[in-house]
Structure 1
Amino acid sequence: MHGHEGGRVNRRRYVAALAVAVGTAIAGSGCALPTGGTDPDIGYPTEQWADIPAGRAVPPIPASGGASDEAAPGTGGWTPAATTSGPLPADLADRVTAARAAAAARGADVAVSLLDRTTGDRIVADGGVLVETASVAKVFIADAVLHESSAPSAPDLELVTRMLERSDDDAASALWFEYGGSAIVDAVVARYGLHATTAPWDDNWWNTTTTPDDLVDYYAGLLSGAGGLSGGAATEILAHLRAATPTAADGYDQWFGIPDALDFEVGDVAFKQGWMCCVAGRWVHLSTAVVGPDSRYVLVVVSHETVTYESATRATTVADLGAGSDDAGWNSILPDTSLDTAVDDASAAHARETLTEVVRIMFPEGRIG
């Protein structure tokens, strides 16, 4: 999943096949799941879509949707797509059900929360599930910096840039402690009227807890000004999120999920990702974004996926260690993102692809409305 541009070219054929698969699944009496196979690179069972006939055409990728040497500023190196926004698809709830079933087959529980800011329509599936924010907390930190001062110092603004565009942990920690630590979360909760977001138990920003619904409400409040941030400050945050780099400062692929799946929305996706391992033996991944012309949609997709390896030198799954395993046993299999970037971790790659596939099934044409 590293080397994102090559994946983007190959993905178009994959998205076309997915469009057929989703239409077939929704038209039937249940959610049809793909047949099993094995990925030779990581040894994982993985869905095989190549045999699905391309019976339903997907609109062509706009000419502005590919890489360009003259990309517009604030779009992460891609020119904005020429898109228009419409209402949410009528069968979207069924697509969400199909996507979550596909994720479950890969060992993941997925929650979804989506808001159409124009119509007020919402699609929610387990939107109240608690999740550690991981790096998504960096948006809260940036909010605090820009709310506290109308003219932050140049060094602080540089830290905000690094923190949001490259998900730089050192930049986040520096601003976290400078602007009050856990008090940042308490203030954001109060200003935005969030219901289930709480400050981290250990004062580490990545352990802030929230829900998909709260994150949607946060972004909606950022866009409307309900959280007390000026329009200029909100625009600055969104510009940084649109300029997010393909890989984070530590080398982790941060274009999984929403940005990787919504081809037609390129240039109109302001996203912040989160990832950490492990919580109860599971990977946590969050893909959060403001999407579409005029920032019409707010989408949050969260997954908790069981850590699984197929290797002779490691237990097949965390469950194989047994409930009575000592810490050494657990540590022998679980990646620890507080110590390791997990850039080449096979379970991390599998979890990222799960989230990307979920969004593709929900939006097989690469756009929301």
Structure 2
Amino acid sequence: MSRRRYVAALAVAIGTTIAGTGCAIPSGTTDPYATYHSEEWSDLPAARVPAPIPPSGDSAEGDVPGTGGWTPAATTSGPLPTDLAERVTAARASAAARGADVAVSLLDRTTGDRVVADGDVLVETASVAKIFIADAVFHETTAPSDPDLELIARMLERSDDDAATALWSEHGGSALVDDVVARYGLHATAAPWDGNWWNTTTTPDDLVDYYAGLLGGAGGLTDDAATAIVSRLRAGTPTAADGYDQWFGIPDALDFEVGDVAFKQGWMCCVSGRWVHLSTAVVGPDSRYVLVVVSHETVTYESPTRETTVEDLAAGSDDAGWDSVLPDTSLDPAVDDVSAAHARETLTDVVRIMFPEGRIG
């Protein structure tokens, strides 16, 4: 367990699983990180405005230039491990044994090296679409209103779905995704078929290209706007607005110092009878690495004597005493669903196998 994970576990109760639209439909709960209630996006405290982000190259005394004041890692990052391709293969095999298909895309922005495994597989973004929403809002106006900045902070840090829906509705809906696709030249990302932001589709490679473009200025955002988005991702909380544990995958497995992982997670169930989890992040000093790990995992419940899979459930099996119903996060938050916990741990294990020392380079 990483230092960050240990501290988080002391401070935050194990969360509920996702509701409704993908990642963080509020269920009337709050958490210790909240200074506002998450139930209603329309009930925002006017006084809570995100702290100003220092302009690039104009950091305060003691800050690291170009980081917006974020804490740098204790050690510098290096090139990708020479045996990383073999590690990725081993990690995916381990996930397959747990019922999951995993795709990986990784970019070293310093060397340009990439390691990819099924990077072109299509995946539902769930809450990862929220970075597209934030990007489009910042591109629309260089100075978003204080209420919009509040919504962006909630949406990126705590994966608050109500905040995302408010911005989505106010700023153009599916056109927001079309705008991001055009500005960043994404090849496989598409607006949602039904107009719901969580059903935006993308690929691991497109997400890596998006993050690299955000950091490199390819999408036309100002330095301040790009820094504002990344800073909010760096401030991501261990639990989402609905209590879901969003520390799985990259933030749990990579033991960097606080401030060196800017992450956005996504999760939803069920898509073709499977849990979908995405762990996406910019990692390391100077945001050197961009890593995206995606899993589609068969819903599985373990009992002392056997495992009940989605096929069993569909056939009406009730060998372990469970109702023969798959998790449906559009109707129920699936609180304490063990299949969700299993899928989160699968993704965390994948990253740990790839980077057993808790760092990329």
| One-letter identity of the residue aligned with 1:175 | L
Distance apart, 1:180 and its partner CA: 0.5
- The Cα of 1:229 is off from its aligned counterpart by 1.0
Aligned pairs for 1:54-65 within 5 A? none
Is the contact made by 1:191 and 1:228 (CA closer than 8 Å) also made in structure 2? Answer: yes
Deviation at residue 334 of structure 1 after TM alignment: 1.4
> Is contact 1:281–1:334 with CA below 8 Å preserved after alignment?
yes
In the alignment, is the contact (CA less than 8 A) between 1:286 and 1:302 conserved in 2?
Answer: yes
C-alpha displacement at 1:80, in angstroms? 4.9
The answer as to whether partners of 1:276 and 1:285 remain within 8 angstroms in 2 is yes
Q: Does 1:87 align with 2:79?
A: yes
**Contact kept? 1:165, 1:241, Cα under 8 Å:** yes
Is the 1:79–1:266 contact (alpha carbons within 8 Å) kept by the matching residues of 2?
yes
1:79 CA displacement: 6.0
- Find the counterpart in structure 2 of residue 251 from structure 1: 243
- Is 1:140–2:100 an aligned residue pair? no
Higher RCO (CA < 8 A, seq sep 6+): 2
Query: Is residue 213 from structure 1 mapped to residue 213 from structure 2 by the alignment?
Result: no
Match of residue 107, structure 1, among 79, 96, 99:
99
**Number of residue pairs matched by the alignment:** 299
Write the letter of the residue equivalent to 1:101: A
1:234 maps onto 2:230 in alignment? no
Bigger drift between 259-268 and 237-246 goes to 259-268
Alpha-carbon separation, structure 2, partners of 1:265 and 1:196: 34
Residue in 1 that maps onto 2:27: none
Distance 1:108 1:270 in 2: 25
Query: Residue 361 of structure 1 aligns to which amino acid in structure 2?
Result: I
Matching of residues 166-315 of structure 1 within 5 Å: 166-310=158-302
Distance 1:355 1:277 in 2: 15
Greater fraction helix: 1
Distance 1:139 1:85 in 2: 25
Q: Distance in 2 between matches of 1:4 and 1:239?
A: 17
8 Å Cα contact 1:259/1:266 also seen in 2: no
Q: CA deviation at 1:264?
A: 2.7
Q: Distance in 2 between the 1:265 and 1:120 partners?
A: 24
Query: How many Å apart are 1:178 and its aligned residue?
Result: 0.5
Q: What percent identity do the matched residue pairs reach?
A: 84
Shift of 1:7: 7.8
Note closer, same or farther for the CA distance 1:115–1:171 as it changes in structure 2 (3 Å cut): same
- Relative to 1, partners in 2 of residues 1:324 and 1:340: Cα closer, same or farther, differing over 3 Å? closer
Q: Deviations over 1:201-234 (max 9, x none)?
A: 1101000000000000000000011011111101
Per the normalisation by structure 1, the TM-score is 0.76
Q: What 5-or-longer segments of structure 1 have no aligned partner? A: 11-71, 326-330
CA distances 1:129-149 after superposition (whole Å, capped 9, x unpaired) = 000000000000000111101
| TM-score scaled by length of structure 2 | 0.78
CA deviation after TM superposition for structure 1 residue 333, in Å:
2.2
1:55-101 Cα shifts (integer Å, max 9, x gaps): xxxxxxxxxxxxxxxxx9xx9xx965312111000000000000000
C-alpha contact 2:276 2:296 (8 A) present in aligned 1: yes
Aligned twin of 2:337: 345
Residue 153 (structure 1) aligned to one of 128, 139, 145? 145
Kindly report the root-mean-square deviation, in angstroms, between the aligned alpha carbons of the 2 structures: 2.7
Counterpart among 124, 128, 145 of residue 120 in structure 2: 128
Q: Which runs of 5+ in 2 are unaligned?
A: 11-62, 318-322
- Say whether residues 1:6 and 2:29 are aligned partners: no
Asked whether the 8 Å contact 1:246–1:255 carries over to 2, the reply is yes
Asked if the contact 1:265–1:367 (Cα under 8 Å) also holds between the matched residues in 2, the reply is no
Alpha-carbon contact 1:278-1:335 (below 8 Å) kept = yes
